[in-house]
Amino acid sequence: MLGDSKLKTFLDLINTSTKDELIWINGYLNAIVQGKILSASPVAVAEAAAPAVNKITIVYGTETGNSKRLATEFAMKAKQSRIIAKVVGMDQYKLADLAKEEYLLAVVSTHGEGEPPLAARKFYDHIHNNGFRLEKLKYSVLALGDTSYPLFCKTGEDVDEQLNKLGGKRIVPIQKCDIEYEEEANNWFSNVLKELTVSKKDTKIASVPAGIPLPARKTGKQVYEGTVTAHINLNDRGSNKTTWHIELTADNLQYQCGDSIGILPENDAQMVTDIIQVTNADGNKSVEFKKEKVTVYELLKRKVNIVFLTERLVQQYATVTGYAIPAGRADLLDLVKKYPVKNVAQFEEIIVGLNGMSPRLYTIASSPAAHEGEMHIVVAKDIYEVNGKKRVGLCSDFLGQFKIGKKQQFFVQPNKRFKLPAENKDVIMVGPGTGIAAFRSFLAERDATGASGRNWLFFGEQHFVSDFLYQTEIQNWFETGVLSKVSLAFSRDQQEKIYVQHKMLEHGEELYNWLKAGASFFVCGKKDPMSSDVEKTLLSIIEQYGNKTPEGAKEYLEELEESGRYEKDVY
């Protein structure tokens, strides 16, 4: 207990303190109790209470929410060091304020093939217009990405480079993070915080109290154990394609239309066996990979990517083995055959340095209301060529070999933007090929819930007879009135190729009238060239039937986008 005089002093201090000051006091006292500050001398208090920076702005650009969560956590930590932190999404940030900023932290992910997330696009475009200078700006960038993609953290790199070109000075260098980003992200912010809390008096690092512990947070995603109950090739005989419809059942399954399923594929067992045999490794030997003990076989089969290694990993292999290997991508099996490791220890050094296996995401093709306890996937067999050699995509091949009854783990990746509007609102859906997945989900949901809004589907593929995915279901939805309108484009059924964008132009006036009446416009499927062509066509329709200039049409589309009425789920 405190004596009367001390209690009065203590209460006076509390009653005259701001909220931020109370947070700091609590953290400071907590640090003393934990022994992290040995004394409460006036020098220590003055040192800890006088950060070199008073306020910072943390902007985030996110697709899945990771950047926002990190930015919020960093703001809490900054406040514990008596630094006022404003957190704002790049889509909400006032671009005119950028020239006024002194300290800016950017947390941004990379979407698809090196693209900024939709929410970061305006900020990204603004800093690339080069019509201004940021001479007083001090900044740092945390970039989130996935090393399984060739343009790893490209958006973060671009933001970092451009802010520097505009005159900004880096507080600390950019930090690029893979899918397991927690440790690197926190280390980056700790380094930033050290720079921001340097004492004004003598430039030494201040004694910053540990502060209030951050609330416990959930790590990882909920993993479901699914059972394969259906595995069907949707293409008929004579098709140039193979597209599988896969159904999984699982207990306590929770997702929404527009979300994606995440699956970790496994490497080909024969390829793994061949690698082990060529290198004379012991498949049963335990090695440590990302703080986990695992056998060499399990590591190669399930934990790391061993096909089409990035140029960086190929050069890493060259550095370890001492070979002069030309720049380019290669499979691990080809490398160990052509450039043999000298011993097993060298091989183990190489494999524990490989990229972890990244989950593949597929837009869910089922509806919670119509397919309770089930998760449906639509996946096309991905065939491509490398150096004249035909290759099959790792995950599409993995899923294509599923058997009924197989157990498979998966998780749900929420998509907060790609969501059905209110049940009485109209929806226009453009989903050629496997892009139909999202709209099969949408239509099944609207059918099951009795939504009153109109639905218009644009679907396209190569041939009507062999490639009309979910033909029976689409026809049934049209016959029962769930689908108000269906526009089909089968590109190879006539001499001149016809795609979904051509069907949009054909019905341009009616399409614009739907938009004018409040319809939402969704696109799902291949990014290039499909989604680009669809957007160009949509702008043309808005310009023509809305009697707008090209600039006016673009502004109209941006308004649709900002209001959530123009959404894309492309890959």
Please state whether 189 falls in left (phi above 0), alpha (psi between -120 and 50) or beta: alpha
At residue 571, the pLDDT reads 86
At residue 131, the pLDDT reads 75
Q: pTM (2 decimals)?
A: 0.71
At residue 123, the pLDDT reads 93
Burial group, residue 433, by CB count within 10 angstroms (0-12, 13-18, 19+): buried
CA angle in degrees (0–180, nearest 5) for 23-25-29: 120
At residue 215, the pLDDT reads 41
Q: How far apart are CA 527 and CA 111, in angstroms?
A: 12
Tell me: pLDDT of 569 over 60.
yes
Q: How far apart are CA 50 and CA 32, in angstroms?
A: 18
Categorize the per-residue pLDDT at 219 as very low, low, confident or very high, splitting at 50, 70 and 90: very low
Helix (H, G, I), strand (E, B) or coil at 525: strand
pLDDT digits (tens, 9 = 90+) for 16-61: 565 445 555 665 565 454 444 444 444 444 444 455 688 899 999 9
DSSP secondary structure letter of residue 284: T
Categorize the per-residue pLDDT at 205 as very low, low, confident or very high, splitting at 50, 70 and 90: very low
Tell me the residue ranges of DSSP E strands in 95-151. 103-109, 138-144
Task: For 141-157, give the DSSP string.
Answer: EEEE--TTSSSTTHHHH
Q: Which two tokens stand for residue 26?
A: 């609590």
pLDDT digits (tens, 9 = 90+) for 224-258: 999 999 999 999 999 999 999 999 999 999 999 99
If you compute the radius of gyration of the chain from its CA atoms, what whole number of angstroms results?
Answer: 28
Q: How far apart are CA 482 and CA 42, in angstroms?
A: 73
| Residue 284 CA neighbour count, 13 Å, CB half | 0
58 pairs with which residues across the strands?
A: 87, 105
Respond yes or no on whether the N-terminal peptide bond of residue 150 is cis (omega within 30° of 0).
no
Mean pLDDT across 340-354: 95
Q: Please state, for a pLDDT cut of 90, what percent of the chain lies above it.
A: 66
Mean pLDDT across 165-186: 91
Helix (H, G, I), strand (E, B) or coil at 533: helix
* Beta-carbon count within 10 A of 12 CB: 10
Helix (H, G, I), strand (E, B) or coil at 103: strand
Tell me: pLDDT of 556 over 90.
yes
At residue 5, the pLDDT reads 61
At residue 111, the pLDDT reads 76
Tell me: pLDDT of 210 over 50.
no
Mean pLDDT across 440-449: 96
Averaged confidence pLDDT in the chain: 87
Mean pLDDT across 200-218: 39
Instruction: Determine contact, residues 483/455, Cβ cutoff 8 Å.
Output: yes
Instruction: Determine contact, residues 297/350, Cβ cutoff 8 Å.
Output: no
Phi, psi for 47 (deg, rounded to 5): -65, -45
Instruction: Determine contact, residues 534/566, Cβ cutoff 8 Å.
Output: no
Tell me the residue ranges of DSSP E strands in 511-554. 520-525
Q: How far apart are CA 488 and CA 509, in angstroms?
A: 17
* Beta-carbon count within 10 A of 136 CB: 13
Q: Which two tokens stand for residue 345?
A: 């220890």
Categorize the per-residue pLDDT at 218 as very low, low, confident or very high, splitting at 50, 70 and 90: very low
Tell me: pLDDT of 1 over 70.
no
β-pairing, 455-461 vs 485-490, is parallel
Categorize the per-residue pLDDT at 65 as very low, low, confident or very high, splitting at 50, 70 and 90: confident
Q: How far apart are CA 434 and CA 431, in angstroms?
A: 7
Q: How far apart are CA 259 and CA 417, in angstroms?
A: 9
At residue 211, the pLDDT reads 38
Structural domains of the chain, ranges and CATH numbers in brackets? 51-196 (3.40.50.360), 269-351 (1.20.990.10), 427-570 (3.40.50.80)
Q: How far apart are CA 376 and CA 245, in angstroms?
A: 7
Tell me the residue ranges of DSSP E strands in 90-198. 103-109, 138-144, 169-170, 175-177
Please state whether 470 falls in left (phi above 0), alpha (psi between -120 and 50) or beta: left
